[in-house]
Amino acid sequence: MAAQGHFGSQARVELAGSTKKPVEAVGPAVIAAAQVAAAPATGEQMTVSVVVRRKNPIDKEKLGTPEGRMSREEFAEKHGPAPDSVALVEAFAKEFGLTAELAKEPGRRTIHLTGSETAMQEAFGVTLAHKAVAGKMYRVREGAICLPSELIGHVEAVLGLDNRPQAKPHFRMKNRAAHAADDAAAPNPGYSPALVGQLYGFPAGATAEGETIGIIELGGGYVESDLTAYFGMLGLPVPTVTAISVDGGTNSPSTPDSADGEVMLDIEVCAAVAPGAKIAVYFAGNTDQGFADAIAQAVHDTTNTPGVVSISWGAAESEWTGQAMMAMDEACQAAAAMGVTITVAAGDNGSSDGEPDGADHVDFPASSPHVLGCGGTKLVAAGTAIASEVVWNETALNEGATGGGVSTTFALPSWQSTANIPAPANGTGGRGVPDVAGDADPETGYTVRVDGQTTVIGGTSAVAPLWAGLIALANKQNGGTAGFINPALYAAAGVNAFRDITQGNNGSFSAGPGWDACTGLGSPVGAGVIAVVAPVTASAPVGSGGS
Q: What is the DSSP letter of 246?
A: S
Which listed residue (262, 301, 329, 360) is catalytic? Answer: 262
**Catalytic residue status for 266:** yes
**Of 345, 352, 348, 407, which Cα lies nearest the Cα of 372?**
345
d(CA 310, CA 77): 26
Q: What is the DSSP letter of 188?
A: -
Task: Yes or no: say if 126 and 160 are a contact pair by the CB < 8 Å rule.
Answer: no
- Count CA atoms within 13 Å of residue 293 on its CB side: 28
State the Cα angle at 241 between 236 and 247, rounded to 5°: 160
**Catalytic residue status for 211:** no
Task: Yes or no: say if 271 and 181 are a contact pair by the CB < 8 Å rule.
Answer: no
Q: What is the DSSP letter of 524?
A: E
**Catalytic residue status for 225:** no
Distances (CA, A) of 47 to 12, 103, 110, 120, 220: 22, 13, 12, 9, 22
End-to-end C-alpha distance for the chain, whole angstroms: 54
Angle subtended by helix axes 322-337 and 72-79, to nearest 10: 130
Neighbours of 170 (CB within 10 A): 33
DSSP run (H or E) holding 183: helix 180-185
DSSP one-letter string for 463-506 = HHHHHHHHHHHHHHHHTS---S-HHHHHT-TTSS-EE---S-BS
Which listed residue (351, 461, 523, 547) is catalytic? Answer: 461
Which listed residue (122, 217, 247, 266) is catalytic? Answer: 266
Q: Is 526 exposed, middle or buried, given 0-12, 13-18 or 19+ CB atoms closer than 10 A?
A: buried
DSSP one-letter string for 45-101 = EEEEEEEEPBSS---GGGTTSGGG---HHHHHHHHSB-HHHHHHHHHHHHHTT-EEE
The residue type at 362:
V
Residues with a catalytic annotation lie at 262, 266, 461
